Amino acid sequence: MKFDLRDPACQPCRRLVPVVLAGGSGTRLWPMSREHYPKQLIDVIGSDSLLQATVRRMDGFPDDWEVADAPLVVCGDEHGFIIDEQLRASGVTPHLIVEPARRDTAPALTLAAAFTCGPEKNNDAILVVMPADHAIADVKALQRAVELAARHAQRGEIATLGVPPTRPDTGFGYVRVGEPLGDGAHLIERFVEKPPAELAAQYVANGAYWWNSGIFVMRASTWLDALRRIRPEMHAACLAAVAEGAMHGTRFDPAAKEFARAPADSIDYAVMERMGGPDAPCTGVVVPLDAGWSDLGSWDAVWDALNKDADGNVARGRVVLDGAMSTFVHAETRLVACVGTTNVVVVETPDAVLVADRSNVQRIKGLVARIKAEHAPEAETHRKVRRPWGFYDSIDHGDRFQVKRIVVAPGARLSLQMHHHRAEHWVVVRGTALVTRGDEEFLLSENQSTFIPLGVRHRLGNPGKVPLEIIEVQSGAYLGEDDIVRFEDNYGRCASDRAAP
């Protein structure tokens, strides 16, 4: 059964609202995952992105529950247009809550809870909170666990899904399960942060510690009341940000000034670690999840989640293996050959190649930090950069020149802009271009070209019904993406914005 997210007439204790937390940078899956295009947006284990797979996990939920007609997706501004584009391509029209700043998962959830309840708390619902970057092999098993958790949430409890561990793992937090409740769920005794290897082995042998999946189920009002008692400053800042925020179609923008006052913290630290203690704001329960869950926090986890050949290898793209064992290879743009490799990860992208021993993949986060400290662009962006109007791909560059392939979606256009340090040549290779150059406006067809002198206002648009593709050759003393002055823009970017065109 479906309902409109903002319709207060629905029965509150039967209403489920999927809340997808789509922030984060996913640096452990570098070089596929970058800060400006993180792992939740990539197809790391299938043809769909992890985000696209996540938003469909409540499809087909038992009919005696009312499930929101669209998920709430909480994300950052730089990823909002990509998320909207991906989900609409999957047939989903999401409600986006776009955070004006990064504040971790607790403020993100609080925005969703406050948005759902409304200012008078008369539109309460049960929130099913899911990270956008996890893998689930058995969706029906997940739904059964969520349904049990939702029955506890009806009673004002906060439920988390715990995964009985199959091995010691230092990459996960743990939940110590307490008293059984007779339906498969347990009271939460306490949360435990990621342990060292020896302690993780003890947890698994003990049997009373489950992996913390990061999936939570609770009524929106329950979360808000708990946070008000424990973290009143975060509660006040987030509620003020929602009260002063604004809707733009299906996108909600919380007030930036008010949200900036919210301290950054995770759901676990802010509230869940209080569960089981004397100062617990409410009852916490943990429900077992046996659904082939993985948080895909490393390339080793990705290898583990995918089908393997007889020698334990996973190969994606153009890959040739000879005598390889337990090897993961992902190739995007060229042939990758591995001979005699064992327990190795190889990830090839157009601008970076990673080679790592599988036992050391947790060190990739530190490696990316080093790359970022050297101000190398590969830490943050791919060679192919997506924009609200389409994308550009930096094909080649040299002393005083750069070549880009630019693709503009039908009906879209870039900002009206100029550059202080570079001129540009445009050659249309597909579609029709509407060009603004100074006081001129004219059309270019395939195989036609134009020149944009340094310092001249210009704009590129696609008036047609097929994607416009051009080759741009830039020349000048400085070719950085911050050499852009905007005068007009369809996407709300101002002249001081230092992003790409």
User: Can you tell me the distance from the alpha carbon of 357 to that of 345, in angstroms, rounded to the nearest whole number?
Assistant: 6
pLDDT band at 50 (very low <50, low <70, confident <90, very high): very high
Q: Which of 330, 32, 293, 33 is nearest to 169 (CA)?
A: 293
What would the mean pLDDT of 450-479 be, rounded to a whole number?
A: 97
At 417-443, the pLDDT tens digits run: 999 999 999 999 999 999 999 999 999
Amino acid making up residue 203: Y
Closest CA to 241 of 252, 227, 265, 257: 257
Amino acid identity for residue 93 in this structure: T
pLDDT, tens digit, 9 for 90 and up, residues 154-177: 999 999 999 999 998 888 889 999
pLDDT digits (tens, 9 = 90+) for 305-363: 999 999 999 999 999 999 999 999 999 999 999 999 999 999 999 999 999 999 999 89
Residue the block writes with tokens 């919380």: 254
**And the tokens for 225?**
């009341």
Output the CA torsion 96→98→102→107 (10° steps).
Answer: -70
How high does pLDDT run on average in the chain? 92
The pLDDT tens digits of the residues spanning 469-497 come to 999 999 999 998 889 999 999 887 754 44
Domain ranges of the chain: 2-294, 308-373, 384-488
pLDDT of 70 above 90: no
Q: Are 126 and 217 in contact (CB under 8 A)?
A: yes
Cβ within 8 Å of residue 196, ≥6 positions away: 170
The domain made up of 384-488 has a fold known as Jelly Rolls (2.60.120)
pTM of the model: 0.88
Mean pLDDT of 50-61: 94
Burial category of 442 from C-beta neighbours within 10 Å (exposed 0-12, middle 13-18, buried 19 and up): exposed
pLDDT digits (tens, 9 = 90+) for 349-374: 999 999 999 999 989 999 999 999 99
- Please provide the distance, in angstroms rounded to a whole number, between the alpha carbons at the two ends of the chain: 43
Q: SS3 breakdown of the chain: % helix, strand, coil, rounded to 5?
A: 25, 35, 40
Q: Evaluate if residue 121 carries a pLDDT over 80.
A: no
Q: In 122-204, which ranges are E strands? A: 126-131, 135-136, 158-163, 174-180, 186-192
Is the pLDDT higher at 211 or at 93? Answer: 211
Could you tell me the CATH superfamily of domain 2-294?
Spore Coat Polysaccharide Biosynthesis Protein SpsA; Chain A (3.90.550.10)
pLDDT the model gives residue 120: 56
Q: What is the average pLDDT across 206-216?
A: 95
